[in-house]
Amino acid sequence: MKIKNVLITGVAGFIGSNLLDFLLETTDWQITGIDDLSTGNKKNIELQLGHNQFEFVEDTLFNLKSLKKYECVFHLAALPRIQPSFELINEHIHANLMSSMHLIEIMIAENHFPRIVNSSSSAIYGTPKIIPTPENERIECLSPYAFQKYEVEKYFEMLATRYPLDFVHLRYFNPYGPRSFNPDNKFNAYSSVIGIFLDRAKNNQPLLITGDGSQKRDFIHVRDLARANYMAAIHAEKLNTAFNIGHSNTMSVLDLAKLISDKCEFIPKRDGEAEITFADVTKAKSILGWTPKHDLETFIKESIK
């Protein structure tokens, strides 16, 4: 697939800004990034603002009028928050479902169908029965956020029966890495647990562990996510399918905390969160040629030096 121009929605967020860095290092593509900075942080992209391959648009995605110039859209704009999605229901539907439908409506109106690399989530599996979890595991959404991510996938599949949509859903497991914790975001308590723990340790605060800490997570470095996005974009054939993007191993939250600090406190368990996430990434390896490269323990050791 020949690519010259791409769009990143949510470019100033944790994953979007890391994807921008990766693409500027790896490609000669012209990149437009859009973000309304409601949860993203302009500091995340400030080093790239003068780059001749990058144009930043500070605006809501709903003001986007055309996709004609793009061969690929990396769709990351979302509110990735499980607990607030139970309370701020319409806000999350608007950000997580309607933004995706807006992109589809533009494509239909223009009769132009760039590849959409859509950021989905392992949250759609709930607490899976099959471990490691393949893409054909049954869906059990435990939160509105998870359901909205699954709705987006199903809308793409349904509308692809009528329109020539070209899409890839990447089901992220638990991302971590640079910029995962934004101290200015009022919902930062729901961001990456690794980012939260590292920030609290840096400030000599105890790590707050929900429940007994036995819940297990498959943690995936954001650079591995960025590379998965890139490989999905350049794949020669139309895929119209979903891929798990995780490290394919698992660690309990309690064991994670012990790697970072010996100061820990336990707080009540949160409803709507899975007991375990553990990705089977066989499909991504065989079709995309993608494998994770970054090691969690190495990242933590380097972060707490």
For the domain that residue 241 is a member of, what is the CATH number? 3.40.50.720
pLDDT per position as a tens digit, 154-186: 999 999 999 999 999 999 999 999 999 877 665
Give a yes or no: residue 168 inside a domain: yes
Read off the pTM.
0.95
The region that residue 27 occupies, defined by phi over 0 for left and psi between -120 and 50 for alpha, beta otherwise, is beta
Give a yes or no: residue 31 inside a domain: yes
Give a yes or no: residue 254 inside a domain: no
Q: Is 145 noted as a catalytic residue in this protein?
A: yes
Give a yes or no: residue 98 inside a domain: yes
Contact yes or no for 77/57 (Cβ under 8 A): no
Give a yes or no: residue 63 inside a domain: yes
Domain count, the chain: 1
Query: Mean pLDDT for the chain?
Result: 95
Active-site residue (options: 70, 125, 145, 150): 145
Give a yes or no: residue 190 inside a domain: no
pLDDT per position as a tens digit, 216-261: 999 999 999 999 999 999 999 999 999 999 999 999 999 999 999 9
Asked if residue 190 has pLDDT above 50, the reply is no
Give a yes or no: residue 260 inside a domain: no
Q: Measured between alpha carbons, how far is 257 from 300 in angstroms, rounded to an integer?
A: 10
Token duo for residue 161: 């029966």
Query: How far does the chain reach from its first CA to its final CA, in angstroms?
Result: 42
Q: How confident is the model at residue 189 (pLDDT cuts 50, 70, 90)?
A: very low
Quote the crossing angle between the two packed helices 193-202 and 253-260, to the nearest 10°: 30
Range of the domain at 241: 5-179+220-247+278-294
Give a yes or no: residue 199 inside a domain: no
**251 beta partners:** 217
- Determine what percent of the chain is predicted with pLDDT higher than 90: 90
- What is the average pLDDT across 66-76? 98
pLDDT per position as a tens digit, 112-154: 999 999 999 999 999 999 999 999 999 999 999 999 999 999 9
- pLDDT on residue 187: 54
Q: Measured between alpha carbons, how far is 181 from 188 in angstroms, rounded to an integer?
A: 7
Token duo for residue 258: 């012990």
Contacts by 123-132 with C-beta closer than 8 Å and gap 24+? 123/82, 123/149, 123/274, 124/149, 124/150, 124/153, 124/171, 125/274, 125/277, 126/274, 127/274, 127/275, 127/276, 128/274, 128/276, 128/277, 128/278, 130/280, 131/276, 131/278, 132/248, 132/278, 132/279, 132/280
- pLDDT on residue 272: 83
pLDDT per position as a tens digit, 11-57: 999 999 999 999 999 999 999 999 999 989 999 999 999 999 999 99
